[in-house]
Amino acid sequence: METQNGFLRTMLYLPVDRVPDIEFGYWPQTIKRWHTEGFPANLEEVYFSQQHDSYFEMDCWPVFAIPTQYSLNPPFEEKVLEEDERIRIVQGVDGVVSRQFKSGREESSIPQFISFPIKTLDDFKRLKEERLRLDDPVRLTNPKAWNECRRKLQNPECIITFWAGTLYGGCRSLMGVENLSVAFHEEPKLIEAMMNHFAELTLHALKQVPRDIPIHYISWWEDMCFRSGPLISPGMFREFMVPYYKKVMNAATEYGCCLAQVDCDGSIHQLIGLWLESGINVMMPLEIGGGTDPFWIRKEFGRQVRLMGGVDKKEIAKGKKAIDKELERIAPLIEDGGYIPHMDHLVPPDISLEDYWYYRRQKRKLLEQVRPMREIKHGIASSA
């Protein structure tokens, strides 16, 4: 892949003047706190925002995100089923019934789930026909998008991205973690049907892309690990997920794509080799508190893998000395190449605006001082 884009060049182990300076995002509660500490009042309490990134002086490039539509259509009716002074029981647009605090963000960021729309294979067959049809016109890309894409490609720094969606995450959203875990053992035909259809939805979107338009970068979302490892065994991952990843990634290579990212929290060590086998080679956000060690990953998989994240948010919350020590810890990874450092998840509300600005400026200095080597050094054994 020929590119002048610093992000892509870093991920391809090509020479760059400086590793890109980007971050992941913010919890809305964090922005709420920062509003009391001098953060501009006009910037909203949202997870991701180019305005926030601009305020913090991050790098950015022209990007064209290929339009995709994988959600339920029509959505379920959003309605309140029960409520009292503090609690509301609601059905969401995804058909999930949950118990939520009325005060929302201040009391709880995670609802208590009561029921999910999929329990059996028949449930999924019905939902697929009613709300996840491949021939639904909503899943067709407006041809005007391709002209806009070609216009942006005139800039040699433009990145064309494709959102591939999710396999495990889609099943989890429709079934819940406990029901899905049982289904992997007792309802393999249901799991295969769901995985296959989510892959077909992605392929349906991918095959609409004209062949003269390259795809530089593909993104997946699969939050399927805790600190102790994945929620399913590597054997189940290989059986139920790898074949469907490969279907999508093999098709993506026809558009020149050689970079595919998976966003997964927790300890991902046991799944990295299987993602690489599937054609997915960028791991993020490398959640340190979740048990992922980017130094171990680099030692184990070398140049096969690319890394993003890995800055321990808990250390950033401890103040300036801890921030300096944390940035010193990750410096060898920056020098090795194929790594873009940023916080290992959304910025939490225990980080003050002052300390976040200090982290931002110190990280920028580090990126300006440490240039990636063209060859990976060997012998990095741990993050100590």
User: For residue range 83-93, what is the model confidence (pLDDT) as tens digits?
Assistant: 998 899 999 99
Stretch 183-211: mean pLDDT: 98
Is pLDDT of 109 > 60? Answer: no
End-to-end C-alpha distance for the chain, whole angstroms = 35
**Which tens digits make up the pLDDT trace of 254-313?**
999 999 999 999 999 999 999 999 999 999 999 999 999 999 999 999 999 999 999 999
Residue 85 confidence (pLDDT): 87
Inform me whether the pLDDT recorded for 59 exceeds 60.
Answer: yes
pLDDT digits (tens, 9 = 90+) for 291-300: 999 999 999 9
Convert the pLDDT of each residue in 127-139 to its tens digit.
Answer: 999 999 999 999 9
Query: How confident is residue 381, by pLDDT bands cut at 50, 70 and 90?
Result: very low
The confidence score (pLDDT) of residue 375 equals: 57
Strands 260-263 and 217-221: what pairing? parallel
Do the beta carbons of residue 288 and residue 312 sit within 8 Å?
A: yes
- Structural domains of the chain ordered from first start: 6-73+118-369 (3.20.20.210), 77-116 (no CATH)
Q: Mean per-residue pLDDT for 344-360?
A: 98
Beta 159-165 vs 87-91: how paired, if at all?
Answer: unpaired
Question: Residue 377's pLDDT is what?
Answer: 53
For the stretch 23-45, pLDDT in tens is: 999 999 999 999 999 999 999 99
CA distance 125 to 187: 14
**339 DSSP β-pair partners:** 307
The DSSP letter of residue 137 is G
Average confidence score pLDDT of the chain: 94
pLDDT at position 38 is 97
Whether 5 contacts 61, CB under 8 Å: yes
What does the pLDDT look like over 148-183, one tens digit per residue? 999 999 999 999 999 999 999 999 999 999 999 999
Residue among 371, 277, 266, 362 nearest 309 (CA): 266
Token pair listed for 294: 């980017």
326's tokens: 């944390």
- The pLDDT, as a whole number, for residue 110 is 75
Pairing of strands 260-263, 79-83: unpaired
What per-residue confidence (pLDDT) applies to 163? 98
Given this model, what pLDDT does residue 380 score?
Answer: 44
CA 268 → CA 7, 179, 198, 222, 327, distances in Å?
Answer: 23, 22, 22, 10, 22
The pLDDT assigned to 383 comes to 39
* Identity of the amino acid at 59: D
The CB density around residue 156, as the number of other CB atoms within 10 Å, is 10
Q: Is the peptide bond before 74 cis (omega within 30 degrees of 0)?
A: yes
Rg (CA), the chain: 21
Query: If we measure between CA atoms, which residue out of 226, 241, 233, 222 comes closest to residue 284?
Result: 222
pTM: 0.93
- Output the pLDDT for position 101: 86
Q: Quote the percentage of the chain above a pLDDT of 70.
A: 95
Task: Quote the tokens at residue 255.
Answer: 């558009």
| Percent of residues, the chain, with pLDDT higher than 90 | 91
More confident call, 103 vs 225: 225
Across residues 56-60, what is the average pLDDT?
Answer: 96
